[in-house]
């Protein structure tokens, strides 16, 4: 990962030149009164608009059950041009058949009409309950209202970030500034996601030939930049950025039908356009990855019921596939996750999960240790398969902070992988069991 430093600036998705946004309430989220529901009106529809047509890149869920808006975006992203995105929460428009496809397209057509732009340049994303057709009357009213409120004020970015939330407890936004080809360039982003989180996204939504083990949130992420980047170069940067950020997080190992990341690059910074062979591309890629990783970590920290965030760092695996499988097995083990919740440095459960993973693991080679986030000062609990002299009290202290790193060395090869993971708490269960007497509490 790049060690470049980026200056954090306010404004999120409207920080870059030429982007406008708004977020409104149009009654897609029903006004539930029960546990876990949104008490009172909460914004549920957002628009993001570029003053000029922008290059676009996207990454989408590889779930075979894929929502209508994802299908529309995966098709349109191929042309490489976008100017607006319409997003709603409260309804995922997934498993809604032909009507769902009609509704997703109608959302883009309506937005295009309001904004006087080409329909194919409008993208769409949805999140919420699965299997319910979109309340199009409300959506239409929402788009009209949102178009009237479009502006470049930071409060509008806050409204948009709120409008895409479902079980999120807080909005997730960032913007950074850096130099590209002598020009000041900005990247802004917002995202949502709290449950159904273990994204495995590809550029087309098509599954890779060999499916990595455990590829599995609705997470939505929208990134704006005023950099001038060719669509193909933008897509290459995004693919790598997502591989090292959103595709490395897990809350509950469930991959959503709606996962979507979109980047619009409108070129208003005035740098010379970066193509796939541009020397500037590395800098842009590092900046984009920084934005994606910061947003991805916000998702894990705000995961449903999450109390502790653990970075699982596997080193010394035979192959990259082994490293990934080992990290995901530990990050998704119910027993490991509950022990994290209890602050219990239970290496027995960790080595058990390593042992049943698809990775090659040899008991008397395995090291397991703890450190502060990003620190190389590791307290080892296990060395070469044998308990160290670290005391139970010392290990408990290492597993007590809200965030820590778990270091696993398989000592069989050179491959490494990491996962940003979360504990499993009573609050997660309570939230997701919902309340059948109040269907507004039953998440997608």
Restricted to residues 253-272, the positions that interact with its own copies (CB under 8 A) are 253-257
Beta strands at 220-225 and 309-317: parallel, antiparallel or unpaired: unpaired
Distance CA 380, CA 142 (A): 55
Judged by beta carbon, residue 339 or residue 371, the one nearer its own copies is 339
Q: What are the angstrom distances between the C-alpha of 401 and each of 249, 373, 390, 395, 423? A: 19, 10, 17, 11, 12
Q: Which of 114, 260, 339, 440 is close enough to bind its own copies by CB under 8 A?
A: 339
Find the shortest distance in angstroms from Cβ 187 to its own copies. Answer: 30
Q: How far is the CB of 211 from its own copies (least distance, A)?
A: 6
Sole binder of its own copies in the list 129, 172, 192, 407 (CB under 8 A): 129
413 touches its own copies (CB under 8 A): no
Q: Which of residues 145-164 bind its own copies (CB under 8 A)?
A: none
Minimum distance, C-beta of residue 288 to its own copies, in the bound complex (Å): 26
Minimum CB distance to its own copies, residue 392 (Å): 6
Q: Which of residues 342-401 bind its own copies (CB under 8 A)?
A: 342-344, 346-349, 351-356, 358, 360-364, 382, 385-387, 392, 396
* Binding residue (CB under 8 A) for its own copies from 124, 196, 261, 406: 196
Min dist CB 359 to its own copies, Å, is 9
The whole-angstrom separation of Cα 99 and Cα 134 is 9
User: Would you state the structure tokens that stand for residue 359, as one six-digit string?
Assistant: 């990775």
Nearer to its own copies, 55 or 218 (CB): 218
Rounded to a whole number of angstroms, the minimum distance from the CB of residue 33 to its own copies is 17
User: What is the b/e burial string over 276-305, where b = at least 16 CB atoms within 10 angstroms of the residue's CB?
Assistant: eebebbebbbbbbbbbbbbbbbbbbbbbbb
Q: In sequence order, which ranges of 135-197 are alpha helices (DSSP H)?
A: 136-149, 154-163
Contact pick of 139, 224, 424, 440 for its own copies (by CB under 8 A): 424
Tokens of 9: 């600036």
Could you say whether residue 426 binds its own copies (CB under 8 A)?
yes
| Separation CA 394–CA 167 (nearest Å) | 36
Judged by CB under 8 A, the chain residues 81 through 100 that form the site for its own copies are 92, 94-95, 97
Give the chain's radius of gyration (CA, Å). 22
User: What angle is formed at CA 160 by the lines to CA 5 and CA 171, rounded to 5 degrees?
Assistant: 60
With respect to its own copies, which residue has the nearer C-beta, 137 or 426? 426
Identified binder of its own copies from the candidate list 181, 195, 205, 303, rule CB under 8 A: 195
**Tokens 């069989």 -> residue:** 412
Selected range binding its own copies among 10-18, 46-54, 281-289, 334-342, rule: CB under 8 A: 334-342
The C-alpha atoms of residue 355 and residue 357 are separated, in whole angstroms, by: 6
Q: Is 392 helix (H, G, I), strand (E, B) or coil?
A: helix
List the interface residues with its own copies, window 8-47 (CB under 8 A): none
Q: How far is CA 48 from CA 167, 286, 354, in A?
A: 22, 24, 43
| Residue selected from 252, 322, 324, 367 as contacting its own copies according to rule CB under 8 A | 252
Q: How far is the CB of 72 from its own copies (least distance, A)?
A: 15
- Applying CB under 8 A, the span of 13-21, 44-52, 207-215, 226-234 interacting with its own copies comes to 207-215
Listed in order, strand segments (DSSP E) in 226-365 are: 260-265, 309-317
- Residues 40-79 within binding reach of its own copies (CB under 8 A): 62-66
How many Å apart are CA 295 and CA 209, to the nearest integer? 28
The β-bridge relationship of strands 260-265 and 220-225 is parallel
Which residues is 174 bridged to in the sheet?
Answer: 189
Contact of 423 with 308, CB cutoff 8 Å = yes
What is the side-by-side strand order in the sheet with 386-387?
386-387, 379-383, 367-371, 403-409, 309-317, 415-422
Residues 293-332, mask of contacts with its own copies (x by CB under 8 A): ----------------------------------------
Which alpha helices (DSSP H) does 150-225 contain, by range? 154-163
Residue 178 binding its own copies, by CB under 8 A: no
3-class SS shares of the chain: helix, strand, coil, % to 5: 35, 25, 40
In this complex, which beta carbon is closest to its own copies, that of residue 355 or of residue 401? 355
218 counts as catalytic: yes
Binding-site member from 215, 220, 306, 417 for its own copies (CB under 8 A): 215
CB of 430 to its own copies, least distance (A): 6
Closer CB to its own copies, 287 or 351, in the complex: 351
CB of 251 to its own copies, least distance (A): 9
User: Catalytic one among 21, 61, 111, 218?
Assistant: 218
Active site residues: 218
């Amino acid at each position: 990962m790049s060690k470049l430093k980026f200056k954090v600036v306010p404004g999120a998705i409207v920080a870059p030149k030429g982007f406008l946004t708004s977020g409104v309430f149009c009654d897609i989220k029903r006004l539930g009164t029960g546990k876990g529901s949104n008490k009172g009106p909460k914004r549920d529809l957002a628009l993001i608009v570029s003053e000029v047509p922008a290059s676009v890149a996207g990454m989408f869920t590889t779930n075979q059950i894929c929502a209508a808006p994802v299908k529309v975006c995966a098709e349109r992203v191929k042309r490489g041009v976008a100017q607006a995105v319409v997003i709603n929460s409260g309804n995922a428009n997934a498993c809604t058949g032909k009507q769902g496809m009609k509704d997703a397209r109608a959302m883009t057509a309506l937005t295009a009409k309001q904004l006087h732009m080409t329909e194919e340049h409008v993208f769409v994303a949805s999140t919420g309950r699965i299997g319910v057709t979109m309340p199009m009357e409300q959506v239409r009213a929402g788009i009209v209202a949102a178009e009237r409120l479009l502006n470049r004020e930071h409060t509008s970015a806050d409204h948009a970030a709120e409008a895409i939330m479902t079980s999120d407890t807080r909005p997730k936004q960032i913007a950074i500034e850096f130099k590209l080809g002598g020009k000041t360039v900005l990247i802004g982003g917002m995202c949502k996601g709290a449950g159904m989180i273990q994204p495995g996204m590809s550029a087309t939504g098509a599954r890779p030939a060999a499916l990595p083990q455990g590829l599995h949130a609705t997470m939505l992420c929208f990134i704006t930049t005023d950099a001038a980047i060719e669509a193909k170069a933008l897509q290459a940067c995004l693919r790598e950025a997502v591989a090292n950020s959103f595709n490395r997080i897990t809350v509950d190992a469930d991959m959503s039908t709606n996962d979507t990341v979109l980047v619009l690059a409108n070129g208003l910074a005035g740098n010379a356009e970066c193509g796939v062979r541009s020397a500037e591309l590395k800098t842009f890629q590092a900046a984009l990855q920084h934005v994606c990783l910061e947003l991805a970590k916000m998702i894990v920290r705000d995961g449903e019921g999450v109390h502790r965030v653990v970075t699982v760092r596997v080193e010394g695996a035979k192959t990259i596939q082994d490293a990934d499988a080992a990290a995901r097995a530990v990050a998704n083990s119910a027993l490991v996750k509950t022990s994290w919740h209890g602050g219990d440095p239970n290496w027995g459960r960790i080595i058990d999960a390593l042992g049943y993973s698809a990775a090659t693991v040899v008991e008397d080679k395995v090291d397991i240790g703890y450190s502060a986030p990003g620190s190389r000062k590791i307290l080892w609990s296990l060395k070469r398969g044998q308990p160290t002299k670290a005391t139970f009290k010392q290990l408990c202290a290492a597993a007590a902070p809200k965030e820590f790193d778990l270091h696993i060395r398989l000592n069989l090869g050179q491959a490494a992988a990491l996962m940003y993971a979360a504990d499993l708490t009573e609050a997660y269960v309570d939230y997701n069991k919902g309340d059948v007497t109040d269907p507004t509490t039953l998440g997608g």
